[in-house]
Amino acid sequence: MKNSIIVLLVFIAGFSTQAQEKKNKNAKYTTEVNGNCEQCQKRIQKAAYTVAGVKSVTWDIATHQLNLIINEEKTTVNAVKKAIAKVGHDTDEVKATDANYNNLHHCCLYERKL
């Protein structure tokens, strides 16, 4: 009887570990980040790289699109957005505080959306 219970528990544990979502080590994401110039570009990309698990970052000045490659085992897109908001740039989901926004150089003060 004990052997049957042990075999059953091992069997259930095996299926439950297979059911867990596998994290992508090279997940690609695109998101919007507000900014105006090359100074913004450097600041945004530098902030994103401070997050462990970020592999690649490019921010396009004209389109305001941030292209990311991250290791999902180490970070999330939301963590990157929070890091960018801390340096004063709004993202599509995470907004910078007024204090962080007001610390930007005058040429970097983009029009904020409500």
pLDDT tens, 33-77? Answer: 999 999 999 999 999 999 999 999 999 999 999 999 999 999 999
**Between 78 and 16, residue with greater pLDDT:** 78
Please give the domain boundaries of the chain with CATH numbers for all domains.
23-108 (3.30.70.100)
Distance, CA of 19 to CA of 3 (rounded, Å) = 25
User: Strand, coil or helix: what is 97?
Assistant: coil
Predicted pLDDT at 113: 81
0.85 exceeded by the pTM? no
Weakest mean pLDDT among 14-23, 41-50, 72-81, 103-112: 14-23
Residues of the chain with pLDDT > 70: what percent? Answer: 81
**Higher-confidence position of 4 and 39:** 39
Chain center to CA of 48: 8
